[in-house]
A and B are shown apart, each in its own frame.
Chain A
Amino acid sequence: MPTTSSSRRWILASLLALFVRPLGAAGVDFAREIQPLLSENCYQCHGPGETSRKGGLRLDTREGAHGRGKSGKAAVVPGKADESEVLRRITSTDPDEVMPPPETHRKLSPEQVRLLRRWISEGGQWGQHWSFVAPKLPEVPKVRGLRGGNPIDAFVAARLAENRRKPSPQTEPGRLLRRVTLDLTGLPPTPAEIAAFESDPSDESYRRTVERLLTSPRYGERMATEWLDLSRFADTHGFQADRYRAVWPWRDWVIGAYNRHLPFDQFVLWQLAGDLLPDATQEQRLATTFNRLHLQNEEGGIVEEEYRVAYNVDRVNTFGTAFLGLTFECSRCHDHKYDPISQREFYQLFSFFQNIDESGQSVYFGDIMPVPTLLLSTAEQEAKLTALKSDIAAKEAAVREVAAAARPAFTAWLATNGPAEPSPLPVAAYSFDTMVSNLFPNSRGGAGARPFEGPQTVDGRLGKAVALSGENGIGFPGAGHFTRADPFSLALWIQPAMHVPRQTVIHHSHAWMDAGSRGYEILLEDGHVAVGLHHMWPGNALKVRTRRQAPTNAWSHVAFSYDGSSRASGLKVYLDGRQAEVEVVRDNLWKDITYGQPDLTLGQRMRDFGFKGGRADEVQVYDRAITALDAARLASVPPPEGEEAAFEHFLQTAHVPYREAADALHKARREQNSLVTSIPDIMVMQEMERPKPAHVLKRGAYDAPGEEVGMETPAALGRLPAEAPRNRLGLARWLLDPANPLFARVTVNRLWQQFFGRGIVETSDNFGLQGAAPTHPELLDWLAVTFTRGDTALGIRPWNVQDLQRLIVTSATYRQSSRVTQKLHDWDPDNRWLARGPARRLTAEMLRDQALFTSGLLVEKIGGPSVKPYQPEGLWEMAMGGARYEVGKGDDLHRRSLYTFWKRTVPPPSMMALDAADRSYCVVRRQSTSTPLQALALLNDTQVVESARHVAGRILREGGATPAARSAFAFRLVTGRRPSREEAGIVQRLLEEQEAVFRKEPDSAERLLKVGETPVPGEHPPDQLAAATVLAKALLNHDESVMRR
């Protein structure tokens, strides 16, 4: 009979129905039996979702079910099934009446109808969904005949006893060691370790082994691998050109945190809100990169806000899936259909995560870190930066002192009519009055200005001016290349034609958003003059805007004067020769403002609004901070009254001691700038002083804001305490509070899944109403409460992952044999009830790492930039951006797989074939499938073949001289166990057959031995080495190697 998966599911469902009802229980259990049924069939229209609710009826609350709907009839009349509308409608044969409606393609089975009827007859007891009630420590069941004091075994055995089943015996020592070593370190044990454990498989020896594994540096790598899926870690941004992002320092932090056994509450707290801790350390801030690992879009021409919203939605979804096991995504567009999370509550959570000074568009020009960022300085660099900081402060003080002492000299200067002396000239000046060889000459002698798309010259403020269209412009080659440490100034006459939200007057940069606005610029924003110096907009930038507007259709003189301090107070804007009052828009510039040397450009910028209809005249560039007197003179207005302006002018232009002090300061700032700019940074969370306003977004659309909302947690999970800070730190503490019903359960469930292949709640990504019911609810709660509170008697410290893992792997449940009889398999094909040990296919990472490890090729080095091992040619080239996959060299070919470069649009193909998670979004549960593409990858991938060659080298070197000895050695080496008599015969035959092949075809042997970069050490007959390679490959594909049993 063909067995379809649906019929298999049906059988399984019926089996489950038998199990979920504890033997001997009388009443129907609402939470376990009725609510899932209502959720599945009714909540789409009669659940928590208000907008989608039909007939005014809700069946997710007692009041809703017992009250009277629009029809005036009560859906559920306790004790009276026949008067209950819900039963009448469900059993109706009238297509207009029957529920669920035929178009939903849903129908309750007779069994389910009977269950509902019984439930109503028994009084229609109500209860809350199990996972929304905080766990209490259940009593450990007493099971007769159970040995050992591990509570896990008691819970599991109790459940088995209910079904008159017994646990399996302990598995063979070799298999147990292989199982626990792979589970805790991701690598197999060595033959020597296996031999040692086989000779002493005592409990004490096992406990020692577990300690060895938990303190191995490989442990952190193994644990981090799981965390990378959950945190959607990748080495690229994920959209379009899919550029590189150097976020590996965060990955290394995760490995380190696991290796030094950082308590899990701290581990999570830092990642969510490390930046908000008092005196946050670099490490605590680095942890928050977690929230920034979502995809980021650099495609030119996107709507910035659309993606800013998308990023923040991803943060909320990741928070929901990873820490609460809930699917918040649904509530982005509408109230959740099943779980009590309203759309409003979604945006309340949203508002926690959006308060960073970021841009929805990442940079198209170059691999530049999205802002805000953390400087990844080493201790040595940090010391140097601190020294430079005090040096700069001292030099600033020196400048002030020189100024204070300059009064007598100033008086003398005034007496000699100093103010009338000409000021130092600009470094470039363009009047647009004449054209020579199609260029506007630079009166200071440098290259002429180059018009493009032909701005017209018209009568200007002085002589001729240029008239701009918004599309055309003028470039000033060689002019205006400054760093943020340099004092410099820019001045020109402008005549705007209109007041519009944005016009670019003049700028020194590659592009607007696509380049993070890096450079400096003068904009008109509704006529207000805005001057900016940006490393990357908006999180590393300096911008001020005048309160006054430049009028339309009249000439205004505009100048800014910048002192090289990287502070808004050091940036003055002059409008018509007078310093203009400004509002500070951003004051957070700490890396340099240029890359490459773009032309200073007037009138236009790539993908920006140009100076449409505007005119400009007399563009001047200064390599000093011009003074108020200079600005007045340039604007042809009288100098400002009073002595202060003159004093400043004296200092800047005439006083030699001041110049010397200022030069020294300039030099120190340049040094600091080049050091700080050379140090890599990484995107992190950095809370803005004022939170951004948050709104419900109608239909989830970025451009449809509705009601404004504040920071709050979903009511069903408990509100944020009144005294808690309204920020991510408050949220993180709420999450870690033992009263939180989900966090600990979700966490221990995932830890359980890591060892048993499936969680106690199978849907480890969904603990909501549509999620699976726990197979061992009491065990889940016991683990959750014990994890948060600890258990002194059992030696479990609060929030200690390793203590909990130790408890799991030392349980008899974990140590059972995974051998399965037909009968046992029929009863429980998926091993939900744990009458046998867990058997699982190795993950993509483990399979590759195992091959490298067994061959001796594995290079064990923790951390560093991701590496590019073997990959078939031409895959990256199909993607965009001219990226080529340059296969690494030497060590890079043989690092552990968690270091393999993860390009989101073209992920490592062999890992994808082997069910590695898509790193686009948070994944807490991988598939485990079996496909022909896996077979091809595991047999033909260069990485595997090269490893097999090196395993072959070991076989020839260490495995004895005869085919029998060698093949038996190989079997033991690769699979970890000794072959049976039959198996020994088969592997020996395999080796001899292949030797015969290669003896006959020596060329083939030579060719096979050249696959991969590294030669096998030592001298070996090629035919024997090639044959052993085939043997090794066969064994690396053997069930015992591919599975961990």
Chain B
Amino acid sequence: MNCSHINFRMNRRDFFGRFGLGLGGAALGSLAALDGRAASPGPFSGILPAGHLPAKAKRVIYLFMSGGPSQLETFDHKPELVRRTGEDLPASVRMGQRLTGMSAQQANLPMAGSIFGFQRHGRSGAWISDLLPWTAKVADDLCIVRSLHTEAINHDPAITFFQTGSQIAGRPSFGSWLSYGLGSSNQNLPAFVVLISKDRIDQPLYSRLWGNGFLPSQHQGVLFRSGKDPVLYLQNPAGIDGASRRRMLDRMAELEHQQYRDLGDPEINARVAQYEMAYRMQTSVPDVMNLSGEPESVFELYGPEARNPGTFAANCLLARRLAERDVRFIQLYHPGWDQHGGLPGGIRRQCGDVDRASYALITDLKQRGLLDETLVIWGGEFGRTNYSQGKLTKTDYGRDHHPRCFSIWMAGGGIRGGTTYGATDDFGYNIVENPVHVHDLQATAMHLLGIQHDRLTFRFQGRDYRLTDIHGNVVKDILA
């Protein structure tokens, strides 16, 4: 008997117990029915049991910096731009590219170099801003891509584009595609988990970003929130404890078994299995969210903020715990990067939020031997302009959205660490070397997971859809 779809092993005893001796045979029959002809696919299997290619990475941790961090204050060092601070952006650089309506009407476009310094770090000598001293310590694990570009110029379509490969709302998200393709290797947790930093909202994050689109609903991302009800409706209502719930579920299963005997519909058994999975999640989710068992050394690594639930640091630690439990796609969002004005203050705060925790996550995964099989991605939905939006002063300026070039980094999971890939011009406005499109990034990540991005498709309204639409090239140069 094969239980590849639904694992009853952990409570088989309950299962048989609840039907009593006289019904044991029938129970077996219904289990067999589950395997052979379940009407809806189980929650754990993907459609590509083996993948298309040998996988380098088993899972993804995506640290999404929502709002669009400035590349010029983080990873794209532009001394010439600093020298030209205050000069108007030359038309020869802008080349008539569109601006957002936020700065298109601006009377002047004064160029603004970073007021923060840059140093070279690690054996690779990667340029990293002084705002990111912790990240700089793992420079040799990172592949910094300075030549990412996207098609959207406003937040909503741009984030949607990164998460679903399309600017149009309603397509399946990256994590849903992976869940659909590869399934889950954990029987008690969803394959696709979403964590959002608290208290940093400037641009909205909404459920369609982790939605399943037209893929079956079981592939939707599940938001884990800090607080008493980490997954929606996870907690029993007040007054119902686990034992009482268990007893009720046992009686419910008996009733369903009667129903199955009468009607013969295997869907009945599939639903019983979902109730069991739900019951297991009621234990497994609080268990993974509970950081109290983590040793002191871990908090020393991640920093004191890791003790404060809902912070980026706490979420990074949670991401590691989810990775240990083989969750396939762990999506973190850290909002707050939309610095149209007051950029120096804002980005200092943001870098302070994420710097140490990002370093800690890489280091922690490495120490546990998980980095090699976990692809970590850090970055936002677009970059920011090299000219100031609003008034430029010696200590203050803002930057508008800039889709034409921006920086992200990747680490682990088959990525060649210690590399910097792609380059922009001296003004930090256009890409001059090795452009990487959003679809290329998605194709590359899928490649590392053993998926040929153009072969993981789903037929919807007569067309075979995929994450990378009809585009995407694997960036071979950054593979280990």
* Residues in chain A within 8 A of chain B (CB atoms): 1-6, 105, 238-242, 295, 297, 299-304, 321, 327, 329-330, 337-339, 453, 469-471, 513, 607-610, 612, 763, 765-766, 768-771, 818-822, 825-826, 829-830, 839, 841, 872, 874, 877-881, 904-907, 909-910, 912-913, 915, 918, 920-921, 927, 929-937, 939-942, 945, 980, 982-983, 986-987, 989-990, 993-994, 997, 1003-1011, 1026, 1030, 1033-1034, 1037-1040, 1042-1043, 1045
CA A338 – CA B459 in complex, angstroms?
14
Asked whether any CB of chain A lies closer than 8 Å to the CB of B94, the reply is no
With both beta carbons as reference points, the residue of chain B lying nearest to A320 in the complex is identified as B461
Asked whether any CB of chain A lies closer than 8 Å to the CB of B296, the reply is no
Smallest beta-carbon distance B371→chain A, Å: 30
Asked whether any CB of chain A lies closer than 8 Å to the CB of B254, the reply is yes
Cβ < 8 Å to A, chain B residues 223-243: 225, 227, 229, 231-241, 243
Assess the B101–A929 pair: CB atoms within 8 A: no
* Residues in chain B within 8 A of chain A (CB atoms): 2, 4-5, 35-37, 39-41, 43, 45, 47, 49, 98, 100-108, 153-156, 168-170, 196, 201-208, 211, 213, 216-218, 220, 222, 225, 227, 229, 231-241, 243-245, 247-248, 251-252, 254-256, 258-259, 262-268, 270-271, 274-275, 277-278, 281-282, 391, 400-401, 454-455, 459, 461-463
Smallest beta-carbon distance B246→chain A, Å: 11
A residues in contact with B40, CB < 8 Å: 929-930
Which of B232, B238, B461 has the most C-beta atoms of chain A within 10 angstroms of its own C-beta? B461
Contact A1037 to B252, CB < 8 A, known contacts A821-B264, A879-B206, A934-B274: yes
With both beta carbons as reference points, the residue of chain A lying nearest to B239 in the complex is identified as A1008
Assess the B239–A940 pair: CB atoms within 8 A: no
6 interchain residue pairs of minimum CB distance: A1008-B239, A770-B462, A470-B107, A905-B206, A880-B204, A301-B102
B residues in contact with A905, CB < 8 Å: 204, 206-208
With both beta carbons as reference points, the residue of chain B lying nearest to A1011 in the complex is identified as B237
With both beta carbons as reference points, the residue of chain A lying nearest to B222 in the complex is identified as A933
Contact A936 to B233, CB < 8 A, known contacts A330-B463, A820-B263, A1005-B239: yes
B residues in contact with A830, CB < 8 Å: 39
Among the listed A766, A904, A940, which residue makes an inter-chain contact with B237, where contact means beta carbons less than 8 Å apart? A940
B residues in contact with A3, CB < 8 Å: 35-37
Sampled A-B contacts (17; CB under 8 Å) = A302-B100, A302-B101, A303-B101, A327-B462, A471-B107, A612-B107, A905-B206, A909-B233, A920-B170, A930-B267, A931-B274, A936-B278, A940-B234, A986-B258, A1004-B244, A1011-B237, A1039-B271
Assess the B270–A240 pair: CB atoms within 8 A: no
- Interface contacts beyond A918-B170, A934-B274, A1008-B238: sample of 7 additional A-B pairs, CB < 8 Å, sorted by A: A297-B154, A299-B154, A818-B265, A906-B206, A989-B251, A1006-B239, A1008-B237
B residues in contact with A766, CB < 8 Å: 461-462
Give the dominant DSSP class at A's interface: loop
Smallest beta-carbon distance A976→chain B, Å: 13
Assess the B463–A918 pair: CB atoms within 8 A: no
B residues in contact with A929, CB < 8 Å: 40, 216-218
Assess the A931–B217 pair: CB atoms within 8 A: yes
Among the listed B49, B201, B282, which residue makes an inter-chain contact with A878, where contact means beta carbons less than 8 Å apart? B201
With both beta carbons as reference points, the residue of chain A lying nearest to B400 in the complex is identified as A301
B residues in contact with A1034, CB < 8 Å: 248, 251-252, 255
A residues in contact with B264, CB < 8 Å: 819-822, 825
Assess the B218–A931 pair: CB atoms within 8 A: yes
Assess the B258–A240 pair: CB atoms within 8 A: no
B residues in contact with A880, CB < 8 Å: 201-204
Assess the B208–A327 pair: CB atoms within 8 A: no
Among the listed A301, A820, A987, A997, which residue makes an inter-chain contact with B251, where contact means beta carbons less than 8 Å apart? A987
Among the listed A303, A826, A930, A994, which residue makes an inter-chain contact with B247, where contact means beta carbons less than 8 Å apart? A994
A residues in contact with B45, CB < 8 Å: 4-5
Contact A872 to B461, CB < 8 A, known contacts A878-B196, A929-B40: no
Assess the B233–A240 pair: CB atoms within 8 A: no
Among the listed B154, B169, B270, B454, which residue makes an inter-chain contact with A301, where contact means beta carbons less than 8 Å apart? B154
Smallest beta-carbon distance A474→chain B, Å: 16
Assess the A610–B463 pair: CB atoms within 8 A: no
Give the dominant DSSP class at B's interface: loop
Assess the B265–A839 pair: CB atoms within 8 A: yes
Among the listed A771, A821, A1008, which residue makes an inter-chain contact with B240, where contact means beta carbons less than 8 Å apart? A1008
Assess the A940–B235 pair: CB atoms within 8 A: yes
Among the listed B4, B37, B203, B237, which residue makes an inter-chain contact with A826, where contact means beta carbons less than 8 Å apart? B37
Contact A933 to B278, CB < 8 A, known contacts A920-B170, A945-B237: yes
Assess the A937–B232 pair: CB atoms within 8 A: yes
Among the listed B98, B216, B240, which residue makes an inter-chain contact with A1030, where contact means beta carbons less than 8 Å apart? B240
Contact A1011 to B238, CB < 8 A, known contacts A327-B462, A937-B233: yes
Smallest beta-carbon distance A341→chain B, Å: 12
B residues in contact with A769, CB < 8 Å: 462
Contact A469 to B107, CB < 8 A, known contacts A880-B203, A906-B207, A918-B208: yes
CA A142 – CA B459 in complex, angstroms?
38
Assess the B156–A819 pair: CB atoms within 8 A: no
Assess the B169–A941 pair: CB atoms within 8 A: no
Assess the A878–B205 pair: CB atoms within 8 A: yes
A residues in contact with B278, CB < 8 Å: 932-933, 935-936, 939
Which of A2, A297, A994, A1009 has the most C-beta atoms of chain B within 10 angstroms of its own C-beta? A2
B residues in contact with A303, CB < 8 Å: 98, 100-101, 153
Smallest beta-carbon distance A877→chain B, Å: 8
B residues in contact with A993, CB < 8 Å: 247, 251
Assess the A818–B263 pair: CB atoms within 8 A: yes
CA A1043 – CA B269 in complex, angstroms?
13
With both beta carbons as reference points, the residue of chain B lying nearest to A881 in the complex is identified as B204
Smallest beta-carbon distance B232→chain A, Å: 5
Assess the A4–B49 pair: CB atoms within 8 A: yes
B residues in contact with A819, CB < 8 Å: 262-264
Assess the A994–B233 pair: CB atoms within 8 A: no
Assess the B251–A990 pair: CB atoms within 8 A: yes
A residues in contact with B5, CB < 8 Å: 2
Assess the B205–A879 pair: CB atoms within 8 A: yes
CA A105 – CA B455 in complex, angstroms?
7
A residues in contact with B107, CB < 8 Å: 469-471, 610, 612
With both beta carbons as reference points, the residue of chain B lying nearest to A910 in the complex is identified as B233
A residues in contact with B241, CB < 8 Å: 1004
B residues in contact with A821, CB < 8 Å: 264
